[in-house]
Amino acid sequence: MAESASPPAPMFSLRGCVAIVTGASQGLGRETARALAEAGSDVALVARNAARLETLAEEIGQAGRRVLCLPADVTRPEEIKAAISRIAGDWGRIDVLVNNAGITRDGLVMRMKREDWDSVLQTNLTGAFLCTQAVLPVMIKARYGRVINMASVMGQMGGAGAVNYSASKAGLIGFTKALAREVASRNITVNAVAPGFFDTAMTGELPENTLRQVLETIPLGRAGAAREVAAGVVYLASREAGYVTGHVLCINGGMYM
């Protein structure tokens, strides 16, 4: 009797992978870390809020995945280098980097303080550069990697009153495309996810008329769920996405086409 073939691995499985998620303490980063763990990846959580990271680590650990909590500020090179060194040392590999850390400091450009411009660009764009630069030697040595940058619909269409945020996310899209060309020969893909309008604690505070006006600009007629962004990240992190690079995955309900 012929031996039965072993069942194929499920699609989008990340079993055996090590993923890093920055800005993992809340919002899209938190949901992304959960989704990566559910897909089978061990996860290193990076953010400034250590208490929130520990809470999330408990949840992920209960699902049987390895977790590292690494309180760090992505704008501080020495903290990022120390975090990456520990992950590579403890786990021996880094397969996926999700550059999710980001902040907002909205205001009209004529009244915007220089520190509000600088802090948003440093966190959202320079932070992604520093994390990627620290991780690339590990990925290049392994000749494998997935870098996923959390951009925004505002980096594509702009947002009045958010020139600093829009500029940082547009810059992140350019960073994605340029880096994808640099590292493609090493079997490393670099992609971006551009979320639209999502249900978050921040959007929940909007006045009802403002919320209605925003929803009217979305063809699907609703806000997105963080889980829908996380699903896009899992796909881009998977081996099945090995022929996708330099791409911006728009998850916005048709808000921008």
Cα–Cα distance for residue pair 254/105, rounded to 1 Å: 26
What pLDDT is recorded for position 35? 97
What pLDDT is recorded for position 53? 96
Number of residues assigned to the chain: 257
CA of residue 142 relative to chain centroid, distance: 21
Question: Do 98 and 46 meet the contact criterion of CB atoms below 8 Å apart?
Answer: no
Written as six digits, the tokens of 123 are 């966190």
Cα–Cα distance for residue pair 173/154, rounded to 1 Å: 11
CA of residue 143 relative to chain centroid, distance: 21
| 244-247 contacts, C-beta under 8 A, 24 or more apart | 244/189, 244/191, 245/180, 245/184, 245/189, 245/190, 245/191, 246/176, 246/177, 246/180, 246/181, 246/190, 246/191, 247/191, 247/192
What pLDDT is recorded for position 181? 98
Boundaries of every domain in the chain: 18-251
pTM, full prediction: 0.94
What pLDDT is recorded for position 201? 65
CA of residue 120 relative to chain centroid, distance: 16
Q: Mark the ranges of the chain whose per-residue pLDDT is less than 50.
A: 1
Asked: is 18-251 a CATH 3.65.10.10 domain? The reply is no
What pLDDT is recorded for position 10? 86
Residue 165 annotated in active site: yes
Residue type at position 144: Y
What pLDDT is recorded for position 211? 85
Residue 208 neighbours by CB distance under 10 Å: 7
Among 256, 245, 200, 249, smallest CA distance to 225 is for: 200
Q: Helix-strand-coil percent breakdown of the chain, rounded to 5? A: 50, 15, 35
